[in-house]
Amino acid sequence: MENENQEVKTNSKTADKTNESVKTFTQEEVNEMINKRIERERKNQADQLSKAKDEATKLAKMNSDQKKAYELDKTAKERDDAVAKLQRYEMRDQAREMLTENNLSLTDKQLDLVVTGDAETTKTNVELLAEIAKSIRDEVRDDFRKGKTPRTNNDSVTREQIERIKDPVERVNMIKTHMNLFN
Higher pLDDT, 90 or 7: 90
Instruction: Report yes or no on 125 lying in a domain.
Output: yes
Measured on CA atoms in the order 63, 69, 74, 78, is the torsion positive or negative? positive
Residue 67: inside a domain: yes
pLDDT at residue 70, rounded to an integer: 87
Domain, as residue range, for 110: 58-145
Q: pTM of this prediction?
A: 0.41
Q: Is residue 97 part of a domain?
A: yes
At residue 182 the predicted structure's pLDDT band, cuts being 50, 70 and 90, is confident
User: pLDDT higher for 39 or 55?
Assistant: 39
In this structure, is residue 70 part of a structural domain? yes
Q: Is residue 13 domain-resident? A: no
- State the total domains in the chain: 1
Residue 106 lies in a domain: yes
Per-residue pLDDT averaged across 81-86, rounded?
A: 92
The predicted-structure confidence for 141-166, as pLDDT tens digits, reads as follows 988 888 776 665 556 788 889 999 99
100-157 pLDDT, tens per residue? 998 888 888 989 888 988 889 999 999 999 999 999 999 999 888 887 766 655 567 8
